[in-house]
Structure 1
Amino acid sequence: MFLKYNRFDFSNFPWYFVILLLLHSSMASGEKAETKLRNLLLKDYVPELLPETNANGSVDVLITTFVRTMEPQLQNFVNLKAVLLFQWNDSRLRYEDQNPENIKKLSLQGDEIWVPDLTVYNMHTSQKLLDHSTRCSVNPTGLLRCSQKVSLYLYCELNYTDWPHDTQLCSLHIGTWIEEKVHLKPWLKSDGIIMTAGKKTPKWILKEIIYIPEEVSGPVTSMEYSFKIQRVDKGHFAQFIVPANVVATLSLCAFWMPRDKGMVRVGFSLAVLMLNALFIQDLGFIFWLSGGDFLPKICKYFANFLIW
């Protein structure tokens, strides 16, 4: 009787609680080990000093660009959204001989270690690409990998002559700020770009990416990429192309109409003038968009018609 009522029913025991407790204990132990190792590596670390250089006296920095979107903006600027990846070696952060916990990767922040002073030369406002928000990780051999999300406004000489069927050629020019002992190289692919041609955004399609190598005898301190993008926005077709053809058709009808149809001819001409008046505001926007350097052909058409 005593055994019957005091027997413990293990089937109802909350084993999940024990599992969660063990997982929490394991994670806390891992975090403690990582914190201890990080403090050990950064104790005498000086971020202002260069890592160990190669035989040429420079630090090899590999760069990969994951392009997300690239869309032209107003007045000769293009907005590039991408993720930049960087890789280099820093022997001061090697911990393969001090790793009893077998930590595969140690997380670090950009302001804790030396990072290359990189910037974008053709950006609207100059700023460093790698800063305190940069996420980095180092493996036991001292190999560092850092990533940085960017949204850059790049200067690009936009040509709107064939607008709205235009194709633009823009560039991304990355280089060092003042450091001369940094050698930049593409990473993962021969051109350092991870984005297949043909990827579309709502208004643009990336047609081609070209890596332009810098021909110098010493360390390569800058990298340049050329992007060819084509407009695929179909909204402009209904907004401008169709009205342009309608206006052209009405103009021809008014021109070839018999002389004895005076009132009808005047009516057609007034209708054409009214249609042109409807597009004046939109045309003014396109005139401003082109910046006066490359006037779209469709703007020339409407302008010549108004003069005629």
Structure 2
Amino acid sequence: MGVKSQNRWKIRNWIFIIFLWSHPVTSQTNQNVLKLMNDIFTNYSSKVRPMISQERPLPLDVSFYLSSINEVSEVKEKLVTTGYIMLEWIDELLRWTPEDYNYTEMIFIPQNDIWKPDLVLKNGFKKFEELGGSFYYLVIHHDGSVNWWPFHVFESRCAMDISRFPFDTQTCDIKFITWSHFVEQIEITKSSNGIQYYEYEENGVWDIVDTSSEIKKEQGESEVKFTLTLQRKPLYYVMNIILPVIFLGYLNILVFVIPVDAGEKMSFSVTVFLSFAVFLTIISTLLPTSSDNTPIISMYLIIQLIYGVIALIISAFQLRLHHRNETEEIPMFWIKVVQLQRKLRCKKTRKVVVSDSNLKENEVQKIAETCDDNREVTYVWNHVSTSIDFFAFWSFLITNIIITVTMFTVSALS
């Protein structure tokens, strides 16, 4: 071996020795950890707030990691979420020097063996429950920092504004508070993490459009509030409720197309009216009982029910007029109504004649004779019922289109 090779080998050995000296290999044993725990827990009590100076508040960092939205109940006004809370604080009574225990830098302790904050869900739907459980472990670092990750299914109250159902957006809060301690003992600090996602699974009905967190200190209490802004996916309700209701609304108008002689006017109108009543019952089961927020779709159904009642009244009145004695004199009011209806129809017919050059000569002559203003016409009660159908049909159709477009446009875009 040459001189250069020997020198190179010596240099490599020295570099390796220096590296080992600056980066010692650690292998803690159970005796190291046991000695550490005996030393730090000798005079430790989980009943004492872990501050050397009890006059200072303990900073508590709280973050929320969301896994899924299990349920948003409009009827019960309840939000059910799954996730875990990440809590971080400094336990000044649990500190050690890692070099004294074979470089042991962290240990895992059951949550009930050390002091932990009494953080509870403030707006819980059922009752206050302790976070975590006896099988949860906390991580304690050598500098006294403690990490706790209690996983939980949170059931919280959420006031629902269902006025724009099913195009609504709901804002729900999940509030946590230190129940027994005042802000002078435990001060919740605003976490830089806020609301994060942990293996989040999309909800089939709701999308999360925004999240935020806020620290509140009121009446000596320290509180953290996590806010979820949820937007409903309306496709299911559009296909199964809104479109059938709109189609029924236009079926309601067809009662004025059915001739009085057919004898089906009343039964058709009653059937459509009962269909609206069924849909109103279905929607009432989906929404909470509230007098403050009336859904637009419920108002639309009420309007359609009113239309159905008016259609029933008009149909019954028409049947009464249609079966009157033909020799009975027709009042001047109804004669003017029939004349106005005849003028409107003839005006439309003349426009068709002018625009359609394919009409035969005998058809044009027949239309001209029918719409001749000088032709003497004998009015009967059948003409009156036909005129009522004409005006009722167009009045219902125009107003129904205006109401439908206005109400659902406002609901979807506001």
Q: The TM-score by the shorter chain falls in which range?
A: 0.7 to 0.9
Distance 1:175 1:31 in 2: 38
Where in structure 1 are there 5+ consecutive unaligned residues? Answer: 1-25
Trace 1:268-283 onto structure 2 (pairs within 5 A): 268-273=268-273, 275-276=275-276, 278-279=278-279, 281-283=281-283
Q: Which residue of 1 aligns with 2:253?
A: 252
Secondary structure at the aligned position of 1:172 is classed as strand
Partner deviation per Cα, 1:211-232 (whole Å, 9 max, x = no partner) = 233256x987111222211111
1:260-299 alignment to 2 at 5 Å? 260=260, 262-263=262-263, 265-266=265-266, 268-273=268-273, 275-276=275-276, 278-279=278-279, 281-287=281-287, 289-291=288-290, 293-299=292-298
Quote the offset at 1:40 in angstroms.
3.4
Which position in structure 1 is the counterpart of 2:240? 239
Identity score, percent: 16
Aligned mates of 1:219, 1:131 — CA distance in 2: 28
For residues 107-122 of structure 1, the aligned pairs below 5 Å read 107-122=108-123
- Which residue of 2 is the match for residue 58 of structure 1? 57
Kept in 1, the 8 Å contact 2:106–2:142? The answer is: yes
Of 149, 152, 156, 2:151 maps to 149
**Do 1:63 and 1:86's aligned partners in 2 also have CA atoms closer than 8 Å?**
yes
Q: CA shift at 1:55, angstroms?
A: 9.9
TM-score (ref. length: structure 2): 0.59
Aligned partner letter, 1:209: T
Question: What is the correspondence of 1:97-108 to structure 2 with a 5 Å cutoff?
Answer: 97=98, 99-108=100-109
Q: How many residues align?
A: 276
1:89 counterpart residue number: 90
Contact kept in structure 1, 2:190 and 2:214, CA below 8 Å: no
Task: Return the offset for 1:81.
Answer: 1.6
Task: Write out aligned runs for 1:211-250 (5 A).
Answer: 211-214=213-216, 221-232=222-233, 234-250=235-251
Report the structure number with the largest CA radius of gyration.
Answer: 2
CA distance in 2, matches of 1:138, 1:46: 15
Query: Cα distance 1:100–1:39, how it changes in 2: closer, same or farther (>3 A)?
Result: closer
Q: 2 CA distance for matches of 1:306 and 1:230? A: 29
Q: Deviations over 1:132-183 (max 9, x none)?
A: 3443101111111110112111111111122222111111111111112001
The alpha-carbon deviation at position 235 of structure 1 amounts to: 2.3
Q: Does 1:48 align with 2:31?
A: no
Distance 1:112 1:98, change over 3 A: farther
Give the TM-score, by structure 1 length: 0.77
Taking the aligned partners of 1:212 and 1:261, their CA distance within structure 2 comes to: 70
The corresponding residue for 2:175 is 173
> Which 10-residue stretch deviates more, 278-287 or 232-241?
278-287
Over aligned residue pairs, what C-alpha RMSD do you find? 3.2
Structure having the larger proportion of residues in helix: 2
Is 1:182 the counterpart of 2:186 in the alignment? yes
AA of the residue aligned to 2:294: L
* SS of residue paired to 1:111: helix
Q: Aligned pair in 2 of structure 1 residues 32, 161: CA closer, same or farther (>3 Å)? A: farther
Ranges in structure 2 where 5+ consecutive residues have no aligned partner = 1-25, 310-414
Contact 1:204 1:233 in 2 (8 A): no
